[in-house]
Structure 1
């Protein structure tokens, strides 16, 4: 273990912090979402616009993963790590399905450390299953699962993309397609319950933009 490793290991476990915060957030106060006629698909627009301008290969990989995620949503395939890993193979352009990480993970320049225990994988799958809980508003389920993927940090690379795909999938299961995804992609912190609730509220705001756009077209 290097001095840097020792310093990193002494940092708080942000995953444990998130699991505590996750229980404290008032998810049931999230806004209700409304189904509207199909319109602009914000994820596809994001891939075909800013992502493609920066990196055409990354854009094509994301579009392929998005197609899988939408197909699985239409078939109501249960959400678990194996499903995310299948999408992540497309995201990363690998021949093999990515495995769950085998050690602690770090993000935000090392400021957040996500620990690993013998229960991390099963805890992650349990959180993913909660994304189908009809007793929690859909906006909250989408926000919560986005943050679950971000803070469990299951993959060696591409976790932010995996989080966004998972959110899109969960909303699509209920027929919701957001017209924008860029506003969702701001830095989130594991110890911020207000930020978690704000993400659910933002999903509601974007859904209302879909409704407004649809009414204008009519």
Structure 2
């Protein structure tokens, strides 16, 4: 049920070997606590997950308010125009110019407003919630962008850069699609971590290759559901 896919799942288990814990996390558990456990540890995990969900809900509200202010005219929902698509993009923060779109795929226009405006709204809303100096704490955020009939998975990271205000170059990797769910994000995050390492090491990379990895995993999931 899409309404429940953000409810945190915590394993509380007597199975405590590293293999058991890895398997639990591969199944999608947000946290894994082994028995015997400390009550304070369990309460801390629950409190942390509740706080994270509140931050994500606040982000959703602010993002949808921001997109409402752009006066988007939605004649036909995008989800009806194209039943299955994904947009992948990379944007950097520049202290002089703000968010700058660096790469995107596909090149064709699939949104009713320019992708640059979407990047600007997403970057500014997330930084307003976390602050520029802590933006990488927003790593791995799944958002509902209702005004675009889409969902977005955002991944923030940075690398050292003494010329930037906070001594680091901040960037956002994002995938936008109508049908991204929590379980997709577990695999997309691994793809983004791999891509982020290439960005940090200044290694050349092919955006279409990464787009295809995400496309394939979501397409496979849609086939299983059918």
TM-score band w.r.t. shorter chain: 0.3 to 0.5
Higher-helix-fraction structure? 1
Using structure 2 for the length normalisation, give the TM-score: 0.36
Instruction: With a CA cutoff of 8 Å and minimum separation of 6, indicate the structure with the bigger relative contact order.
Output: 1
Pick the structure with greater CA Rg.
2
Higher-strand-fraction structure? 2
